[in-house]
Structure 1
């Protein structure tokens, strides 16, 4: 009696499994009338990678850069773009590389593994250069804030700049120091980063070519805050100007210590010193400091005033990098639209030849190396507690 009951039960169970199997098959194979997600109006997500120092002494610069990038993505999404016949939505995948080359390479591989469609950053030359090899091997376009000549010296066809290189910037400031400031004897300090050392090297070449004597060259690091020993040694050498290759977190205490030691020669530096943060940290000792910045002054940029108004309403104080981060994103997306594809292999050649009218320039375009064709350089001086334009060379 138990056997027939088990048989009937087995048949019922078998039938149930058969029905379940049919149901699973139907779920896996939707009927032809079912519309794809894109056709139903759901946008395809396109990931853009981003990396910068978001913690540590350069966090304010990295965050400024990131805010510009985020604003560009929001603006692009608001336009409801369609690429390849499909609606797309851009998503930022942001990482903190801590301005550390080792961390940067780890992050680069992580972003590649996450299948990003393009890379914005890194911020520092010292992180952008080692990370660029990973993006190049993955054939991912990268638009970085890096200004060191070594970034594009690698001749990777995937690397592009957001700002003019230190070759251009150092040449302008070196010549300016000699011909416009009348500096005959110059001392140099750099922070040994790819950016700081590279900028100082180019400054030194230009200053020597213009007829100056480099009386001493010293170095520190990008974490230091006490430069008394270096400055005391330099004071004995006697100089007309001191050039520092590095960021505002070191330039500010350096200029304060220069004033305390009675050094009257002006401090000259690059764009990582030409920040509102430098003015805050250095206080009244900032007076007379001279620094260069790649590109035009914000109020002279084609869309600078409009961008500044919108940015401040959204994020508050602007440093200097947000317009360039904004343009990097918009230029990359413009290349995708022109190629009608978000696939790196298809839009990369379009990006290499693009001419894009952005916030910072009416014609963002790259040469064969990935350098900007004409970014321009502006030299500023601290007067009355603010950065005032002394001279602008090039740009459009």
Structure 2
């Protein structure tokens, strides 16, 4: 479904791109690239609905703007898919009216799409993610990062969420200082995001005096993880950190953790990152009760309590759809949209022009009075990272992700 917002059009022939209609006759398109199938489907639908609703309510800018839905998941896989992400990136480039991409949800998918969008002959094409947390997309992390995502030498990827080098480290600090654990098993789902956040946790755990008694991947295709947790028990771990996404058989992993090591309210707590955040299946899973989560932002309750744009948008969302969004990612999706719209409004209506507004000069700022996060939101033109760094600790309580505390970040 595509939703257009009427607006005044700048009558400037210079805004036309070779091979395109003049901007005066075009509606500029923002692709919304998310996994709409599998366990992440509810969260992705709520992001799309919130973006759609916000766009309907936004006063007209200099160009008419529409959104277009792209699914980067497959029913067979039940999550984002490598080949689908590549095909989506090619489709973004092929759509001559498209000027930016909102997404993707998963860091691994963005790492496949970003270089293709960066080499767009009419671009580079701007990409702004609401939920990618792997550091390597914007800063040195693994070999060749982040340069390999920008073959043209010009950056074109940005995000509005806190990265895993902060999130993983904060989880380890919370484990040491608040939970008083001393021996932790660190697991990852063997994907880009999970490996990155688990690495950050393990590195900080060592600095906090926590012994990492095992550090290994779980096989998302396994039928159970009983043997894995029996080994964790034999290592005398007093905490489990599972870095990854719930889509990768996270439900079975959590159930087997509780079966072997006991409830999360017991002597061996489970800590998970935001790859488990906002999944209804996880919220409803009895074995998830008592698990701690970290989220590289503010939760719905925090954003709503702050008043302003978020409060109004959440009220309108509930009025239209009968319930609040599945997670705070819906509002972070709107924040990513606000960054894109600010760039579009200041641009000449071309892909290159939209990208340049974010990555040249002083970059783009959405003022606190307008920003859904309730703070001045600025994208650093040198990196693509956002100035706002929030980290929330939550706990699964009676099927709900309850806010525990905000964790201070440097």
Please list, as runs of the form range in 1=range in 2, the aligned pairs for 1:23-42 lying within 5 A after superposition: none
Q: Is the 8 A contact 1:253 1:282 kept in 2?
A: no
Q: Which residue of 1 aligns with 2:292?
A: 290
Length-normalised TM-score, structure 1 = 0.81
Q: 1:324, CA displacement in angstroms?
A: 0.9
Q: Is the 8 A contact 2:99 2:350 kept in 1?
A: yes
> In 1, distance between residues paired with 2:376 and 2:346?
16
* Alignment partner of 2:194 out of 193, 196, 209: 196
Partner SS, residue 30 of structure 2: strand
Please list, as runs of the form range in 1=range in 2, the aligned pairs for 1:153-232 lying within 5 A after superposition: 153=139, 154-155=146-147, 156=150, 157-222=155-220, 226-232=224-230
Q: 1:38, CA displacement in angstroms?
A: 9.8
CA RMSD of aligned residues (A): 2.3
Partner SS, residue 117 of structure 1: strand
> In 2, distance between residues paired with 1:69 and 1:391?
28
Q: Deviations over 1:88-114 (max 9, x none)?
A: 322222111111122201110111111
> In 1, distance between residues paired with 2:178 and 2:37?
38
Q: Which residue of 2 aligns with 1:319?
A: 326
Q: Which residue of 2 aligns with 1:5?
A: none
Q: In 2 relative to 1, CA 222–305 (structure 1 residues): closer, same or farther, beyond 3 Å?
A: farther
* Alignment partner of 2:378 out of 347, 353, 365: 365
Q: Deviations over 1:261-315 (max 9, x none)?
A: 24341110111213251454412x3222000111123233243332222222233
Q: 1:68, CA displacement in angstroms?
A: 2.6
Q: Is the 8 A contact 1:218 1:230 kept in 2?
A: no
Please list, as runs of the form range in 1=range in 2, the aligned pairs for 1:233-248 lying within 5 A after superposition: 233-248=231-246
Q: Which runs of 5+ in 2 are unaligned?
A: 1-20, 74-79, 140-145
Q: Which residue of 1 aligns with 2:99?
A: 117
- Of Structure 1 and Structure 2, the greater helix share is in 1
> In 2, distance between residues paired with 1:276 and 1:129?
23
Q: Deviations over 1:207-234 (max 9, x none)?
A: 1111111001221245556222212221
Q: Which residue of 1 aligns with 2:358?
A: 351
Q: In 2 relative to 1, CA 343–131 (structure 1 residues): closer, same or farther, beyond 3 Å?
A: same
Q: Which residue of 1 aligns with 2:76?
A: none
Q: Which runs of 5+ in 1 are unaligned?
A: 1-36
Partner SS, residue 261 of structure 1: helix
Length-normalised TM-score, structure 2 = 0.79
